[in-house]
């Protein structure tokens, strides 16, 4: 039976259950160590949650094709939405397991609703209160992810390497960009077609690139990362649990787009080898489970639905 993914700020206990599950995954160590991933320093066990951090970093550093630095195996090309959909589902399954709740649905943050608020209110909106995710800070000092309960253990360096860490979570809400996307921005993306187009990069026209946020950017998804800043800025951005709430909303917008325009995806399997990793039946990178393909995640309505597709 499909689970329902709720709005994190309007659904009772959605945020509390999510935070509890994240902390449980942070304290679960399935076996791999930092040495398994080539991270310098002593061999330290990597938590289940931090496997997602490593997975995202590795995907961002896997360029498709090698040397094409504007497109990697999870960003800057058509696979952006399928790859993150796959990642979200793996996190959701793991949260269901540790929460012992098969009805748990990963919540989404409707950032465009907060983007309608006056600029000065956006960094203090409901999501950033102590009752939800906590606010800005170095480190964040309130909410469920303070240094006492949640510590960053692996982080990306500017050299594109991972290093070990042991510190609190950093957020700099509204520092580098002051406002979130608006409902008008998301509505404009929802009307865009086709799904994607040549040259299949940050320079492409179409829905995927608009939602990812490259044209006239940072916009939409990218703008949310920059607005939050801190640990949401580098390739290790899943270090901030709001990463998954952001991407769950991105996935929700994609689902709304497909229900409007059809479950279409390009490029197909006839595309050249330079697009390997982004074609319809190419395998998506994975550190958590067996890999899948874009084709396999186009219709997930048997697994989960959203409480609303209104954007």
| 105 neighbors 111 (Cβ within 8 angstroms) | no
Taking CA 271 as the corner, what is the angle to CA 270 and CA 272, rounded to the nearest 5 degrees? 115
Q: CB-based contacts of 94: which residues, under 8 Å, 6+ apart?
A: 25, 48, 288
| The pLDDT value given to residue 1 | 85
Which 3-state string (H, E, C) describes 129-164?
A: CCCCCCCCECCCCCCCCCCCCCCEEEEECCCCCEEE
CA–CA gap between residue 37 and residue 306 (Å, rounded): 35
Kindly report, residue by residue over 108-153, the tens digit of the pLDDT: 999 999 999 999 999 999 999 999 999 999 999 999 999 999 999 9
Split the chain (311 residues) into runs of 10 and give each run's mean pLDDT.
96 97 98 96 98 97 90 97 98 98 98 98 98 98 98 92 97 97 96 97 96 95 98 98 98 98 97 96 95 97 98 91
| Count of beta carbons in the 10 Å neighbourhood of residue 51 | 23
Q: What is the pTM of this model?
A: 0.98
Kindly report, residue by residue over 250-265, the tens digit of the pLDDT: 999 999 999 999 999 9
**All domains in the chain, ordered by first residue:** 3-306 (1.10.1280.10)
| The pLDDT value given to residue 302 | 98
| The pLDDT value given to residue 97 | 98
| 135 neighbors 126 (Cβ within 8 angstroms) | no
CA–CA gap between residue 34 and residue 259 (Å, rounded): 42
| The pLDDT value given to residue 67 | 86
CA–CA gap between residue 205 and residue 68 (Å, rounded): 18
Give the pairing of strands 152-156 and 304-306: unpaired
Q: CB-based contacts of 163: which residues, under 8 Å, 6+ apart?
A: 39, 40, 41, 154, 155, 157
């Amino acid at each position: 039976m499909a689970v329902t993914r709720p709005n994190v700020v309007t659904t009772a206990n959605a945020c509390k259950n999510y935070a509890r599950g994240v902390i449980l995954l942070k304290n679960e160590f399935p076996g791999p160590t930092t040495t398994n991933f080539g991270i310098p320093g002593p061999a330290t066990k990597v938590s289940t949650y931090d496997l997602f951090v490593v997975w995202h970093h590795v995907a961002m550093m896997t360029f498709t094709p090698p040397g094409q630095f504007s497109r990697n195996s999870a960003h800057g090309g058509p696979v952006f939405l399928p790859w993150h959909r796959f990642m979200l589902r793996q996190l959701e399954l793991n949260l269901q397991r540790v929460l012992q709740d098969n009805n748990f649905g990963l919540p989404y943050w409707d950032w465009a609703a907060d983007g309608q608020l006056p600029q000065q209110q956006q960094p203090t909106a409901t999501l950033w209160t102590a009752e939800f995710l906590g606010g800005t800070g170095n480190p964040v000092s309130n909410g469920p992810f303070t240094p006492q309960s949640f510590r960053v253990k692996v982080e990306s360096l500017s050299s594109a390497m991972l290093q070990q860490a042991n510190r609190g979570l950093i957020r700099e809400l509204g520092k580098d960009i002051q406002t979130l996307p608006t409902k008008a921005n998301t509505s404009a993306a929802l009307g865009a077609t086709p799904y994607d187009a040549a040259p299949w990069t940050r320079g492409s026209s179409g829905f995927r690139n608009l939602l990812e946020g490259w044209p006239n950017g940072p916009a939409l998804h990218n703008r949310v990362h920059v607005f939050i800043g801190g640990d949401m800025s580098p390739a290790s951005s899943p270090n901030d649990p709001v990463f998954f709430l952001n991407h769950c909303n991105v996935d929700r917008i994609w689902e709304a787009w497909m229900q409007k325009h059809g479950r279409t995806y390009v490029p197909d399997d006839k595309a050249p080898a330079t697009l390997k990793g982004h074609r319809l039946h190419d395998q998506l990178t994975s550190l958590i489970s067996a890999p899948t393909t874009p084709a396999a995640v186009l219709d997930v309505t048997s697994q989960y639905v959203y409480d609303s597709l209104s954007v």
